[in-house]
Amino acid sequence: IGNARAAGADADFLSFSWSAPDDNSASEEEDATPPEKKFGTINTIIITNAILEESSTAMVEAYAVAIEAKCRAVSDMGMICAKNPSMTSTGTGTDSTALVCQRQSGQGGIEYGGKHTLLGELIGQAVYQATREAIEKNFAHFYRAYSDYPISPHICYRLRCYKLQLIKALQEGHRPLVPLDPMDPLSGPKNWVVLVGVLGVMLAFSLHVYTLQPTDHCQQSLLYLPKPSVSVLLGYFWGDRFLGAVKMPFLSHPVVMMGNLISFLLSCIPESCFAPDQPIRGFLCGLVFFFTAVIVSVTAAWSVLLL
């Protein structure tokens, strides 16, 4: 479960080569460290008495059927990628498949082993059934602590999937997918990203309204609630995190507001200040522009914090 991966998920090692450390060069401190956590894998061994031809056609097709059957079983069990919880898993990161059979040159051997053949059907059914049973046993072992409760291990795994997806959403927010063609527009956020963003903004501003109405119950618990300015900033942050791609640019974001302010101030500067033969005038206009932008931005930020 912890090693489940989807094809195309983010890599764990950002290198094309990896070499194991030399045992002889390990220090005593390294020997004293506990071993790394071991993750599960799906190793499939297919043993058949079918005689395949010496050519690799039947073996390649049999391997393809076995891998497709494993991927279908993993997908039907609802496993998600541990690296990218929004993606459906197709196996683990260390899967391997072995085919044990007899091979014969010339006539008499099976020439093909694809999905249209009887050999492909038997291999597909056997691998699919075995993979499902292995995943169910893994679920039962992984959630054995809840065996006394009236809840199935599969439901426990689905709850874990929702937790991972929520944590991933809180960590990354909306990450736009870069299209293959740079001229194509960016794809919009997914529905669950928009839902999390809307709920977060509503929660932040509900706290803001609640703190502005100090009732008897609110006065007792006012120390445990954030200031209105904090809730407003939290709402802006959450909206930019998850709703920034719904309406681009996010006009209420402080960075966007500062950019609009700079554009407005630049439009107010006369063209004569940019003349190369008037350096003193250009320098003075630059100073006025700089201090005006700083004063306006600091005043706006300070007024929000004093709410």
Helix H, strand E, coil C: the string for 93-104 is CCCEEEEEEEEE
Which of 148, 142, 146, 156 is closest to 78 using CA atoms?
156
The pLDDT value recorded for residue 34 is 45
What gap in Å lies between CA 110 and CA 57, rounded to an integer?
Answer: 10
d(CA 200, CA 233): 12
CA distance 220 to 214: 9
Nearest-angstrom CA–CA distance, 1 and 178:
29
Low-confidence ranges of the chain (pLDDT < 70): 17-39, 106, 169-180, 182, 186-190, 192-193, 207-256, 304-307
- Predicted pLDDT of residue 36: 58
pLDDT of residue 220: 47
Q: Cα-atom radius of gyration of the chain, to the nearest Å?
A: 31
Q: How far apart are CA 192 and CA 223, in angstroms?
A: 33
| Residue listed under structure tokens 């091979």 | 103
Angle at 107 between CA 104 and CA 109, to 5 degrees: 50
| Bond before 214 cis per omega within 30 degrees | no
Asked if 120 contacts 113 with a C-beta cutoff of 8 angstroms, the reply is yes
Q: List all residues 6 or more positions away from 131 whose beta carbon is below 8 Å from its beta carbon.
A: 42, 44, 69, 70, 73, 74
Q: What secondary structure letter does DSSP report for 103? A: E
Tell me what pLDDT residue 221 has.
47
Tokens 């914090």 -> residue = 305
Alpha helices by DSSP H, listed for 146-278, are 153-172, 191-212, 216-221, 228-243, 254-268
**Cβ–Cβ under 8 Å, residues 4 and 89:** yes
pLDDT at position 182? 66
Contact 272, 278 (CB under 8 A): yes
Residue type, 268: C
d(CA 268, CA 291): 15
Per-residue pLDDT, 66:
95
Give per-residue burial for 28-40: e unless 16+ CB within 10 Å, then b.
Answer: eeeeeeeeeeeeb
Q: What is the DSSP letter of 110?
A: B
Q: What's the pLDDT score for residue 190?
A: 67
User: What is the dihedral sign for C-alpha 247, 251, 252, 258?
Assistant: positive
